Amino acid sequence: MLLWQARVRIAVALAAGGLAFALAQLGWLRGSGPALLVIVVAYMASVSGIAWVIRRAGAAGDLAVGATVAADLLFIFASTIASAAPDHYYRILILSFFVLHLTESYVGRRHAAIVVAAVVGAYAGLLAGLANAGYGVRWPDEAWSLMIFAVASLAFLWQYGSFQRRLEHIVGLFEGAEQGDFTNAYDLDGDRTPDAITRVGRAYNRVRLQLASMVHTDPLTGCLNRRGLDQAMAREISRSARAASELSLLALDLDHFKTINDSFGHIAGDAVLRELGGLLVQIARGGDMVARTGGEEFSILLPDTDPPGAYRAGVRLCDSVRTHPFTANGKRVHVTISVGVVSMSSGPHDASGMNLKERADEALYAAKRGGRDRVRVWNEELASLEREASVISEH
């Protein structure tokens, strides 16, 4: 930021210095053209030197920022003193406000507050020097000018700082949305003075739920997708840990789904999946979360559910799917599912979504190896058997 601004500063100094030199030569400005040229050259050299140091260091800390701001203020003070009568030194305050705006916009409030203090102190010192030199300083008028500058500057810092904080909050919301997190809304109640930023926040809130639905929903079945399930699981794991409640996860897989696709076609297979998703949502309780996590794979998150309750839910699902009249191309299709069950109370290291999903999958594979159309509950013995079966299949 300081490097590209260095080029802008040099260009502005050349333009302003050239104009001031021309006006001084015409007698429209007090002071001499050569003095202005020296000030402009000295400022350009300072800015270039700071940029050279930054390039060599590969970074810019507070010292580089402070040196740049100091060069700006010195240029304003020196060029105004060289080109204006003391009655017009108030121009220093006007021009310094641009430095204040630049500093607050690109560096931050702390450095901007230092600019305000430096300008007030330096300007008061300049007036004191004029008074000691015998110039008749109108202190009430000058004090009034200083007070106006200070109040306007502090009001700007407060207002612009509020803008910055609210914009950073909105940026954070969009960054979260980019990762699929739509849990937080823009706080409209915190906006005591609604403005354009408030309208942006209100617009984000209007589309937030629509975006969440698009990002977290499986388009075929209307259930949650894998991302939606992951976020729901993270949220429920945290809640269960705080409330010391139990949490269960069911992993479901439609048995012999390839046969349905091969016999009736993929369109009919999609229709069966859509019907299965609707059936699972219908059977699930109000607080349960149904997700399609793969081709024919589904998961159901069961908050506040212990292992016996999760097992009963799995059995009820198997029975309901087995007896449901699925159709494909107008023909009745017999559909069954295999279910793996895991609960956070199954072991001492359960407080992670990855653990729950891995264990639910292990139980699901055991159900499929056991003949399908059944429910298996995860335990340590089952996990050992699944690991042994995996090693055997690899060899």
pLDDT tens string 261-313: 999 999 999 999 999 999 999 999 989 999 999 999 999 999 999 999 999 99
Tell me how far CA of residue 48 lies from CA of 5, 53, 76, 156, in angstroms.
Answer: 11, 9, 17, 30
Give yes or no for residue 216 having a pLDDT over 60: yes
- Residues 6 or more apart whose CB falls under 8 angstroms from that of 332 comprise 325, 326
Q: Give phi and psi for 300, each to the nearest 5.
A: -130, 125
How many other β-carbons are positioned within 10 Å of the β-carbon of residue 58? 6
β-bridge partners, 339: 252, 375
Q: Which residue has the higher pLDDT, 31 or 254?
A: 254
pLDDT surpasses 90 at 379: no
pLDDT at 136 over 80: yes
Q: pTM here?
A: 0.58
Burial 330-359 (b: 16+ CB within 10 A, else e): eeebebebbbbbbbbebeeebeebebbbbb
The C-alpha atoms of residue 303 and residue 334 are separated, in whole angstroms, by: 30
Residue ranges of the chain that CATH labels 3.30.70.270: 226-394
CA-based nearest residue to 308, from 246, 265, 264, 370: 246
Q: Any idea which residue has 């004191």 for tokens? A: 128
pLDDT at 36 over 60: yes
Q: Which residues are catalytic?
A: 296
Average pLDDT of the segment spanning 156-174: 86
CATH entry 3.40.1360.10 includes domain 226-394: no
Nearest-5° Cα angle at 66, 61 to 71 = 130
The more confident residue out of 84 and 129 is: 129
Per DSSP bridges, beta strands 326-328 and 337-343 are unpaired
Query: Residue 391: which pLDDT band, with cuts at 50, 70 and 90?
Result: very low
Could you tell me where the DSSP H helices lie in 133-247?
Answer: 139-178, 196-216, 226-243
**CB 99 within 8 Å of CB 87:** no
What rounded mean pLDDT belongs to the chain?
Answer: 87
